[in-house]
A and B are shown apart, each in its own frame.
Chain A
Amino acid sequence: MGAGDARLMEMDHQGLEENQTADRYWMRKLPDAEQRPFEEHFVDCPVCLESLETVERLRGGLRELPPGFTAAAAVSSARPIARDRFAPNRARPLLTFLAAACFIIATAASLFFYGEAGRARREVESSRHESERARLRQAELEQALQKERDNRALRSDAVVGALNAAPLAASVFTLNLTRGASSEPGDRVVLPESPAWVVLLFDQPDQANVRKYRVRTSTAEGHPVGDPVTAGAASGGMLAVSLPSSLLAAGDYRLAVEDAASGHLLATYRFRAISKP
């Protein structure tokens, strides 16, 4: 067994927990030197996988907090505690005395430590160089990421520009499972006059072990309509997908629900899109 294997096998779970390694991993705060070995360890470690998934769910949930809560409930409530620490109280004279004593001791000690300062300075200088290199690299990566986000938003604006006028306008339709191939679609989707979102709701297929559902929409003739999309969970055990109405013209359509992992077809829905009379 190589030295690397031994190191990975003997990762100290208590140490990982104490250093919030799983949390820092999701926050992308682990340096490369820690991240790589940690990844190679956790992909094969049920304990760490459980810990990472727990943190992921927790972060995912907390990050959906409405922005108003942020300032009102968390940040502002942190301040009284901070203020209390500096508020006048009965211990203040004693603290002042202790602070003065510490200052005198520190001044005397500084003479002793002066000789050590040169060595420490060199170490600090070296660390600073390292830190600067890391900071520059991080800045480059952040810049690239930001550029990509900006450009992605711009492209999105260009393509769905027509929807921007009413980004939250959506028509919701419930689809019923299609059994048999010959009957004409029972479900009707009324297309809005101006571009808007069409949300299609349908039952979650009764399949165990399916973690994600992929939905392919096509015309009755089998021509794909847009790219496959991942279905989102809606309330009442249903799934939902949303499509720009501009993708649909009047006619019959087929919506195929697949297991995203295996590609197996799980359910088929058919609907007829009709223009608003």
Chain B
Amino acid sequence: MPVPSATAVDPGDSAAALVGRIREGDSGAETELVERYRRGIGIILRAESSNAAAVDDLFQETFRIAFEKIRQGDVRDPRRLSGFICSLARNLVTDHFRRVAARRTTGDLKLGDIASGRADPLETLLRSERGEFVRQVLSEMPSDRDRQMLFRFYVAEDEKDAICRDLDLTSLHFNRVLFRARERYRDLYLERAGSRNNPREAG
């Protein structure tokens, strides 16, 4: 069933109102814009780059330029604010990779550009610790099929058709099995991670 956007107010209307308020110099509206789009923009950037420092910088830059363009009246259709800010983030990511490539050819490389090339020992250690914990949680899952589903779909990134074929599942059945496997894994993870500091990181 089609589901309208979660907010009761039409998103186009609220976006246009937000743009109007920013243009009038309402600093509260700027905070509101960041709050409204920070999770989504973070996802777009993290999907494109695994370099946390670069993602941080691009995140700041996206909003800086967004404010600048909104204040200058460069947003042609304020109702399409979401589209505007998504395009902005995507373009900045593209530019970022171009700049890194250009610096590479000229030899003008900064420490930040190479920092992600090799994991440092601390990160290696922590990763190994987390990996061992996830392995333990997976091995405690009672259903072998759940383990296979999670591993093959999320880690090996096997095609859905191939998994369906091997596990004798229809497409619809696959969706249900994957959903339940995910839920069971998350429940078990959170249960086992009860005493850990940050249970959200992989659950």
Contacts and interface: CB of A to CB of B under 8 A. Distances in A.
Contacts of A159: 111, 114
B112 interface: yes
Interface stretch (A12-20, A88-96, A174-182): A12-20
Contact of A82 (B86, B118, B166): B166
Instruction: Categorize the interface residue count of chain B.
Output: 35 or more
A227 B138 contact: no
Interface in A31-74: 36, 39-47, 49, 52-54, 56-66, 69-70, 73-74
B39 interface: yes
Contact of B10 (A1, A23, A39): A1
For A14, A36, A65, A70, the residue with the greatest tally of chain B CB atoms inside 10 Å of its CB is A65
B135 A170 contact: no
B41 A2 contact: no
Given A17-B175, A82-B166, A56 B43 contact: yes
Contacts of A235: 129, 197
Contact of A40 (B60, B82, B179, B186): B82
Interface stretch (A3-11, A103-111, A130-138, A184-192): A3-11
A258 to B, nearest CB: 11
A44 B12 CA distance: 10
Given A61-B130, A65-B138, A152 B201 contact: no
A78 B155 CA distance: 14
B56 A214 contact: yes
B44 A43 contact: yes
Nearest to A67: B131
Interface stretch (A114-122, A236-244, A248-256, A264-272): A236-244
A12 B90 CA distance: 24
A17 B116 CA distance: 33
A43 B116 contact: no
A69 to B, nearest CB: 5
Contact of A151 (B3, B56, B104): B104
B24 interface: no
Contacts of A157: 118
Nearest to B144: A77
**B contact face: mostly helix, strand, loop, or mixed:** helix
Contacts of A202: none
A231 to B, nearest CB: 10
B92 interface: no
**A contact face: mostly helix, strand, loop, or mixed:** helix
B44 A197 contact: no
Nearest to A168: B121
Contacts, number: 239
Contact of B53 (A14, A197, A230): A230
B118 A57 contact: no
A233 interface: yes
Contacts of A226: 111
A227 B40 CA distance: 27
B130 to A, nearest CB: 5
B118 A1 contact: no
B91 interface: no
B117 A155 contact: yes
B122 A240 contact: yes
A158 to B, nearest CB: 8
B192 to A, nearest CB: 12
B44 to A, nearest CB: 6
Given A64-B202, A74-B151, A234 B126 contact: yes
Interface of B: 1-7, 10-12, 15, 36-37, 39-41, 43-44, 46-47, 52-53, 56, 59-60, 77, 79-80, 82-83, 85-86, 90, 97, 100-101, 104, 109-118, 120-124, 126-132, 134-135, 138-139, 144-145, 147-148, 150-157, 160, 166-168, 172, 175, 178-179, 182, 185-186, 189, 197-198, 200-203
